[in-house]
Each structure stands twice: as C-alpha cells, then as structure tokens.
C-alpha cells in the first residue's frame, strides 16, 4: 500500500466521481475531496435525451445521491471552481483564494462544447449542449413548431435532433458527411441509421456551414447555397478539452493532457482522467476517447495507480447512443477490420455488424441487439477466433462462441 | 413463508440468459427476471433496471452478475446490489428453489 494520505479530485463528472468510487472500493482510507462547479455531480448522457425532454430532473440524473458522499467519507466541495494547480507543492488553489493540500491531485476537468469561429457564432439563439444549464436553455426553445437547425449528426447532434422532433419541433439536421458515424459503426449501418431521421420527419441535409446571420425573427444560414431560416440553432460539433489548469501547472499537453497507461501526467503527483486526456499505451499516445465508459475506466486506473495496485484489465472501447427509440452500441476498432459480417439485416433491428481481421472479431455495432455487442467485446478481449458463418447466423447463440 | 409459485422449468432458460415472469403471476409491483448464471444457478431480481426502463431478463448474465441491455448497469444476481453506474439504486432479489427440474419462485423472500 502506498503512503498517499490525501487526494483532491478536480471535477465531478463521470471521470472524477468514478475515481473517488474506485479509490474507496479498493481500500483508500485517506482524505478524499471532489471539487465541482455544480450543485451535485450529475450524469451527462441524459442531457440530450430524457433530461432535455423534461422527463427527468437534475435529481434523477445525479451520479450519486447526496448521502453517498457522506457514506463514502468524500468531501464534496460543490459550487466551487479551481483557479490554479501547483503541482510541486500539491496545492489546489480555489477561486476564493483558499488552498487545498493533497498528496495526489486528479484532474477530471472535462471539456467544453466547440463553438466554431464562424461569422455569427456569438448569436444568442445559437446553442450548444454540454451542461445541464445548456440543456435548460435549449429546452425553452424546443417548442412545438419551432424551426430548429441541428449542426452535426454524430452522437449529441443526432440525439438532440431526435428529442427535439419528439417535442414537436420542426427539425433540420445538417452534417458535412452523408453517413455520419460511419467510422464508428461502418458505412452501411451508418447510412441506414442516418436515414431514420428522415423517416421520422427530420429534414436531413448534407452540407457544411460557413456562418450565421441574425434576423428579426431568428437566424439565417445558407445550406448548399440556399438561405434557410430558423428560430434556433444547436451546434453538436465536438468538444475542446479543458487543459488550462494542466498547462498552467506545466504538465505535458498536446491537444489533451498526456497521461501514462495508469493515468499519471508528466508530474507524478498529478493524475488525469476522462475527456481531456490522451493515454499513452505501448509507447503510442492515443486520441482522446471522449466516451462515458472510457472516463469510468480511467477513474478505475487512476485509483489503482494511487494505491499501488495492479491496473484493471484492458477492454475494447464501447459506447452507446439512443435516438428515435433505437438503442445503438458499438465496441472495438471498426477501422481495423478487413471484412464485415452482418447478423440479421441492416435496417431491420435487431441487427449487428461485426468487423473481422485475420479470423478474429475486432469491432461490432448493433441496433437493439446489445447482447451481440457484449458478446463481441468478450470475443475481442479474449482474442477468440470465430467462424464467420456462425457469427452471422441469428440462430446461433453467441455465448456458445465464447465457450469454444 | 409463502408456498412459492412454479413459474418455469430449468430447461426454459439457457445458461447466461434470463426470462421475465409477468407480475400478474408473481403478484409483485414489477415483473421478475429469472436469470441463469453461467454456472447453472438460477436467481431472481426485479426485472426493470433501476436506471431506465429496460428488462434485465434480456441482459447479459455472467459470473454472478447481470448487465442491463441498455446502458450496462451491473447488478449482483444474489443480492440485487448495483455494481456499476449509470444505475445508482439496488434492485430487489427474490428467493428461488429448484425442485425436480422446476423453478419455484418465492416473491419478496430474501434469497
């Protein structure tokens, strides 16, 4: 057991709260503090779905109940922001001037929604979605009949478009790609998934955007050269990592906080987890993962590193997205596949598409068939060779392939 | 101590899978998921995930746990205790007995 007596976690998203939970789970008995700018740490995936739709409250989407922090002896410094990190002295300086001392600091600073530097990008009716406050502001304009433009049809954009439609808005969804998400779920599945928007009544346009103009009753933008008018616009075009504290503290940052396989930054007194990080695995610096479960796994690794315990086993990256009543999951690296095997028929859920390389599953994507993805994850993690005919046969129980 | 209800045969559930027993049969507030672990043992939990509306009977059952088919919240088969986010609340376990290949359910009795 290491001699760490105190840990301060900066940020109460899924990465920060998972780090705290994992530290206590694995036996950390020292002082544990989470500093967070909000009232009570909450889960972000519902912000584009049930929370945006008004079906769930902030209390409903709390990552943990208020009692949990007491039960776990975690000091939650809520409504608190950090001004600076002094890595060498292990000091976190709050914007109030108060200083928190810690043996180890964990940066779980998250990110911000990208606001592209386009003409008109500062107009009030241009929304982004990253926080509950963003969702509250957006909900006010998603009224029946409101003309809403959603820019970006990846994950958040597609989910917001679906929620807005089901709230009665008149939704246009624009993306420069004809098949958004194809890198993650494969071209054919992506093409069909994108077509579901139009089938439900969303106008989908393949185009880029070069600016916005404020008009007397909303926003005008040009799509494929034609002027279009909207009451509000939602930008779902990605995130920028919050790396400022790390940069000011002199930590290695390159489009993300560079961390080791065990989440250590370039200063061993400081760890970092979640969206703003880039992990170094087998000598290669990975891209930012930017997924919910990835942040959770970062937290588990950070806790293990702090406690001097072995790291949890690596597992293939996984994410989900929910839109128009469909549940989509994907696992692994689609780009690594050389051939694809379809189980069921694309466009007729439940179905799954597996990516294969040298007789092994390297990726899978499924619509309304999450157990196919859960099976694929285990096939990938355990490097089990598969028979493609069995994999593609909906009559074959995929659990049997795991026991082969 | 109730007499229990014969709800299914052991052969009805493959190892690693589950079936849902309707609340009209169990007399409980929620349907009950019968979940068969990969070691063959059968467990029973409230069927609806405590996070969002999804049937745990359709989840992935392995190594003493069931993983929700929606967002992969994990619950202990024996205790119903939540083991992984996004769910934060435990689900309710029910006692099960196997007699002559039949699965007998004792709703609301602790396993």
- Give the mean pLDDT of chain A: 96
In a domain, B110, yes or no: no
Helix-helix angle A156-166:A187-199, to 10 degrees: 20
Predicted confidence band at A404 (pLDDT cuts at 50, 70, 90)? low
Token pair of A150 as six digits? 């959603």
For A260-275, how does the pLDDT look when each residue is reduced to its tens digit (9 = 90+)?
999 999 999 999 999 9
* CATH architecture, range A325-403: 2-Layer Sandwich (3.30)
In a domain, B111, yes or no: no
Q: Which of B58, B67, B85 sits opposite A296 (nearest CB)?
A: B85
CB–CB of A293 and B60 under 8 A?
Answer: no
| Interface check A374 vs B, CB under 8 A | yes
CB–CB of B86 and A43 under 8 A?
Answer: yes
| Interface check B76 vs A, CB under 8 A | no
In a domain, B15, yes or no: yes
Q: Which of B14, B69, B85 sits opposite A370 (nearest CB)?
A: B69
| Interface check B29 vs A, CB under 8 A | no
CB–CB of B14 and A399 under 8 A?
Answer: yes
B88: chain A residues, CB-CB within 8 Å: 62-65, 68
Which residue's structure tokens are 């911000």?
Answer: A112
Are β-strands A339-345 and A326-332 bridged in parallel, bridged antiparallel, or unpaired? unpaired
For A145-196, how does the pLDDT look when each residue is reduced to its tens digit (9 = 90+)?
999 999 999 999 999 999 999 999 999 999 999 999 999 999 999 999 999 9
Token pair of A35 as six digits? 């500093």
- Exposure string (b/e) for A274-299, b if CB count within 10 Å is 16 or more? bbbbbbbeeeeebebbbbbbbbbbbb
Q: Are A186 and A366 in contact (CB under 8 A)?
A: no
For A:294-353, CB contacts with B below 8 A are 296, 318, 320, 322, 327
Q: Name the strand (E) or helix (H) holding A70.
A: helix A66-71
Q: Which CATH class is domain A115-235?
A: alpha beta
The pLDDT of residue A124 is: 85
For A363-385, how does the pLDDT look when each residue is reduced to its tens digit (9 = 90+)?
999 999 999 999 999 999 999 99
CB–CB of A374 and B60 under 8 A?
Answer: yes
Nearest to A180, CA basis, from A151, A203, A209:
A151
Q: For residues A33 and A361, give the distance between their C-alpha atoms in angstroms, rounded to a whole number.
A: 41
CB–CB of A62 and B52 under 8 A?
Answer: no
Q: For residues A309 and A297, give the distance between their C-alpha atoms in angstroms, rounded to a whole number.
A: 15
In angstroms, the separation between the Cα of residue A294 and the nearest Cα of chain B is 13
Token pair of B39 as six digits? 């070691």
pLDDT at A2 over 80: no
| Number of domain units in chain B | 1
Nearest to A366, CA basis, from A345, A389, A388:
A345
CB–CB of B15 and A45 under 8 A?
Answer: no
Q: Which of B69, B85, B88 sits opposite A371 (nearest CB)?
A: B69
Q: Where are the domains of chain A?
A: 6-112+239-307, 115-235, 325-403
For A130-146, how does the pLDDT look when each residue is reduced to its tens digit (9 = 90+)?
999 999 999 999 999 99
CB–CB of A399 and B86 under 8 A?
Answer: no
Mutate to test the interface with B, among A12, A40, A371 (most CBs of B within 10 A): A371
The pLDDT of residue A121 is: 87
Per-residue pLDDT of chain B (111 residues; tens, 9 = 90+): 578 999 999 999 999 999 999 999 999 999 999 999 999 999 999 999 999 899 999 999 999 999 999 999 999 999 999 998 899 999 999 999 999 999 999 999 999
Are β-strands B18-21 and B32-36 bridged in parallel, bridged antiparallel, or unpaired? antiparallel
Q: For residue B110, how far is the Cα from the chain centroid?
A: 13
CB–CB of A374 and B67 under 8 A?
Answer: yes
Q: Are A43 and A51 in contact (CB under 8 A)?
A: no
- Minimum Cα–Cα distance from A319: chain B residue: B71
Q: For residues A113 and A176, give the distance between their C-alpha atoms in angstroms, rounded to a whole number.
A: 18
Q: Are A212 and A121 in contact (CB under 8 A)?
A: yes
Mutate to test the interface with B, among A370, A373, A376, A401 (most CBs of B within 10 A): A370
In a domain, B29, yes or no: yes
Q: Which CATH number is B49's domain given?
A: 2.102.10.10
| Interface check B52 vs A, CB under 8 A | yes
In angstroms, the separation between the Cα of residue B53 and the nearest Cα of chain A is 12
Token pair of A63 as six digits? 């990552």
Cα distances from A313 to residues A300, A304, A386, B106, in angstroms, run: 10, 11, 22, 38
Cβ atoms within 10 Å, residue A199: 10
For A:51-110, CB contacts with B below 8 A are 62-65, 68
Nearest to B47, CA basis, from B70, B73, B22, B24:
B22
Q: Which domain holds residue B63?
A: 5-104
The pLDDT of residue A122 is: 86
CB–CB of A45 and B86 under 8 A?
Answer: yes
| Interface check A399 vs B, CB under 8 A | yes
Q: Which residues pair with A279 in a beta bridge?
A: A259
Token pair of A360 as six digits? 């092994």
CB–CB of A399 and B17 under 8 A?
Answer: yes
| Interface check A115 vs B, CB under 8 A | no
Q: Which residues contact A45 (CB under 8 A, 6 or more apart)?
A: A292, B71, B86
In a domain, B109, yes or no: no
- Exposure string (b/e) for A36-60, b if CB count within 10 Å is 16 or more? bbeebbbbbbbbbbbbbbeebeeee
For A74-101, how does the pLDDT look when each residue is reduced to its tens digit (9 = 90+)?
999 999 999 999 998 899 999 999 999 9
The CATH fold of domain A6-112+239-307: FAD/NAD(P)-binding domain (3.50.50)
3-state SS, residue A164: helix
Q: For residues A51 and B49, give the distance between their C-alpha atoms in angstroms, rounded to a whole number.
A: 18
Residues, chain A: 404
Q: For residues A353 and A29, give the distance between their C-alpha atoms in angstroms, rounded to a whole number.
A: 45
CB–CB of A327 and B70 under 8 A?
Answer: yes
Q: Name the strand (E) or helix (H) holding A373.
A: helix A370-381
The pLDDT of residue A3 is: 67
The pair phi, psi for residue A165, each rounded to 5°, is -60, -45
Nearest to B18, CA basis, from B37, B39, B46, B1:
B37
Fold: same for A115-235 and A325-403: no
For A56-72, how does the pLDDT look when each residue is reduced to its tens digit (9 = 90+)?
999 999 999 999 999 99
B84: chain A residues, CB-CB within 8 Å: 296
ipTM (interface pTM):
0.88
Three-state DSSP string of A10-30:
ECCCHHHHHHHHHHHHCCCCC
Q: Name the strand (E) or helix (H) holding A317.
A: none
| Interface check A19 vs B, CB under 8 A | no
Q: What is the rounded end-to-end Cα distance, in angstroms, of chain B?
A: 12
- Exposure string (b/e) for A62-79, b if CB count within 10 Å is 16 or more? bbbeeebbeeeebebbee
The pLDDT of residue A154 is: 95
| Interface check A222 vs B, CB under 8 A | no
């Amino acid at each position: 057991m290491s001699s760490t007596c105190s840990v301060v976690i900066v940020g109460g998203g899924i990465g920060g709260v998972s780090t705290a939970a994992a530290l206590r789970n694995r036996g950390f008995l020292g002082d544990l503090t989470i500093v967070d700018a909000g009232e009570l740490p909450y889960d972000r995936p519902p912000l584009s779905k049930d929370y945006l739709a008004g079906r769930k409250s902030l209390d409903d989407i709390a990552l943990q109940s208020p009692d949990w922090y007491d039960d776990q002896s975690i000091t939650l410094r809520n409504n608190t922001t950090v001004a600076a990190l002094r890595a060498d002295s292990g000091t976190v300086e709050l914007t109030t001037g108060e200083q928190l001392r810690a043996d180890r600091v964990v940066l779980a600073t998250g990110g911000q929604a990208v606001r592209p530097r386009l003409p008109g990008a500062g107009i009030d009716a241009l929304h982004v979605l990253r926080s509950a406050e963003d969702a509250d502001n957006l909900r006010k304009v998603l009224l029946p009949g409101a003309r809403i433009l959603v820019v970006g049809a990846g994950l958040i954009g597609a989910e917001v478009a679906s929620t807005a439609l089901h709230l009665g808005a008149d939704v246009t969804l624009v993306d420069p790609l004809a098949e958004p998400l194809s890198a993650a779920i494969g071209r054919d599945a992506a093409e069909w998934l994108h077509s579901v928007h139009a089938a439900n009544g969303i106008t989908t346009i393949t185009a880029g955007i070069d600016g916005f103009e404020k008009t007397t009753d909303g926003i005008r933008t040009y799509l494929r050269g034609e002027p279009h008018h909207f009451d509000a616009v939602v930008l779902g075009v990605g995130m920028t990592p919050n790396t400022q504290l790390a940069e000011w503290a002199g930590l290695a940052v390159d489009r993300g906080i560079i961390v080791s396989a065990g989440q250590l930054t370039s200063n061993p007194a400081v760890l970092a987890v979640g969206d703003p990080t880039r992990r170094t695995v087998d000598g290669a610096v990975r891209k930012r993962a930017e997924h919910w479960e990835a942040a959770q796994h970062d937290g588990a690794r950070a806790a293990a590193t702090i406690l001097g315990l072995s790291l949890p086993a690596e597992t293939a990256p996984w994410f989900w997205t929910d839109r128009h009543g469909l549940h989509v999951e994907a696992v692994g690296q689609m780009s690594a596949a050389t051939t694809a095997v379809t189980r069921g028929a694309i466009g007729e859920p439940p179905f799954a598409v597996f990516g294969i390389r040298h007789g092994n599953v390297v990726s899978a994507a499924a619509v309304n068939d999450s157990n196919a993805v859960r099976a694929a994850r285990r096939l990938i993690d355990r490097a089990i060779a598969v028979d493609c005919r069995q994999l593609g046969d909906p009559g074959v129980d995929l659990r049997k392939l795991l026991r082969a | 101590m109730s007499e229990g209800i014969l709800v299914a045969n052991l052969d009805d559930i493959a190892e690693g899978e589950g079936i849902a027993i309707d609340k009209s049969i169990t007399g409980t507030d929620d349907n009950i998921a019968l979940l068969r672990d990969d070691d063959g043992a059968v467990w029973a939990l409230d069927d609806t995930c405590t996070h969002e509306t999804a049937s745990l009977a359709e989840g992935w059952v392995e190594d003493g746990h069931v993983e929700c088919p929606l967002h992969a919240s994990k619950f202990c088969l024996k205790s119903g205790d939540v083991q992984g986010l996004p769910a934060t609340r435990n689900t309710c376990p029910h006692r099960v007995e196997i007699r002559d290949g039949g699965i007998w359910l004792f709703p609301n009795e602790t396993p």
